[in-house]
């Protein structure tokens, strides 16, 4: 049997841990016969390499599904090194995906997004150019879904930063409108805290928990198989 290893970054934030864990809980509910294990690249244990090694011991197989929204160092280095062994492989990260756009739209609707509001998509960011391409694809999808422009701000590794993107959005704001940040982050934690401090009028909730995330995880797993 092939083990699904759901690998996230890891966080000290209790709510963040619960949000990430909810994704794998939903995966188990959708496919109860599947062996689903949790792993991390930083902060928390067990480390992904150890989980993969245990899963493939004795001839087993493992597919690591990054619980991450785009490629970057952790996908290209940490996870790649963890699956560099017989019986192991890695699926693509969760984004871009139309279901992520749908969740973002729902989160914005929950905070009462209005036509006069200016939307900034806040992503964690990476120095990997492919990560920016993925975020841009999601921003384009969200622009279409909302039928209003969406700009991008990054927490680190790319520009503009979220505070700069918020400031730029405020400069373009019409009377009565708000700067609304769509949090393109899986869970509460360090980056979401920084987004909350970026000066927006409203910040939407992170993506998890949401059962559609589990659907994406299983699609990535199945495609890798």
The residues pairing with 118 across neighbouring beta strands, listed in sequence order, are: 179
Query: DSSP secondary structure string, 63-100?
Result: EEEE-SSS-SHIIIIIIHHHT-STTEEE---S-S-HHH
* The predicted structure's pLDDT at residue 174: 82
* The predicted structure's pLDDT at residue 58: 82
Cα angle 25, 94, 87 (rounded to 5 degrees) comes to: 80
Where are the chain's structural domains? 2-94+209-224, 98-203
- Report residue 73's pLDDT band, with 50, 70 and 90 as the boundaries: confident
- DSSP code for 44: S
* The predicted structure's pLDDT at residue 225: 87
Taking the mean position of all CA atoms in its chain, how far away is CA 134?
Answer: 11
- Give me the CATH code for the 2-94+209-224 domain, please: 3.40.50.1400
- Give the model confidence (pLDDT) of 102-129 as tens digits: 999 999 999 999 999 999 999 999 999 9
59 vs 30, which has greater pLDDT? 30
Average pLDDT of span 50-62: 95
Same fold for the domain at 2-94+209-224 and the one at 98-203?
yes
Given a cut of 90, whether residue 1 has pLDDT beyond it is no
| 224, burial (CB in 10 Å: exposed 0-12, middle 13-18, buried 19+) | middle
The single residue listed with the structure tokens 């000066």 is: 199
* The predicted structure's pLDDT at residue 132: 95
* Four-way CATH pick for 98-203: 3.40.50.300, 3.40.50.1820, 3.40.190.100, 3.40.50.1400: 3.40.50.1400
* 26-60 burial: b if 16+ Cβ within 10 Å, else e: bbeeebeeeebbbbbbeebeebbbebbebbbeeee
The residues pairing with 152 across neighbouring beta strands, listed in sequence order, are: 121
Percent of the chain residues topping a pLDDT of 70: 100
Given a cut of 90, whether residue 53 has pLDDT beyond it is yes
- 150 phi and psi, to 5 degrees? -130, 125
């Amino acid at each position: 049997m092939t083990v699904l290893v759901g690998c996230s970054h890891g966080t000290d934030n209790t709510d963040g841990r619960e949000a990430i864990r909810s994704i794998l809980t939903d995966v188990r509910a959708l496919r109860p016969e599947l062996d689903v294990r949790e792993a991390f690249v930083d902060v928390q244990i067990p480390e992904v390499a150890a989980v993969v090694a245990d899963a493939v011991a004795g001839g087993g197989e493992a597919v690591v599904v990054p619980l991450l929204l785009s490629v970057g160092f952790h996908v290209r280095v940490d996870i790649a090194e963890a699956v560099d062994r017989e019986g192991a492989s890695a699926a693509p990260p969760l984004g871009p995906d139309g279901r992520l756009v749908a969740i973002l739209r729902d989160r914005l609707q929950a905070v009462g997004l209005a036509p006069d509001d200016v939307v900034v998509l806040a992503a964690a960011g990476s120095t990997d150019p492919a990560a920016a391409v993925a975020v841009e694809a999601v921003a384009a999808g969200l622009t279409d879904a909302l039928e209003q422009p969406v700009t991008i701000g990054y927490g680190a590794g790319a520009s503009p930063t979220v505070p700069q993107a918020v400031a730029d959005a405020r400069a373009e704001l019409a009377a009565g409108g708000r700067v609304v940040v769509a949090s393109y982050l899986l869970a509460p934690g360090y980056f979401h805290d920084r987004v909350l401090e970026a000066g927006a009028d409203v910040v939407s909730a992170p993506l998890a928990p949401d059962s559609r995330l589990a659907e994406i995880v299983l699609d990535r797993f199945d495609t890798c198989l």
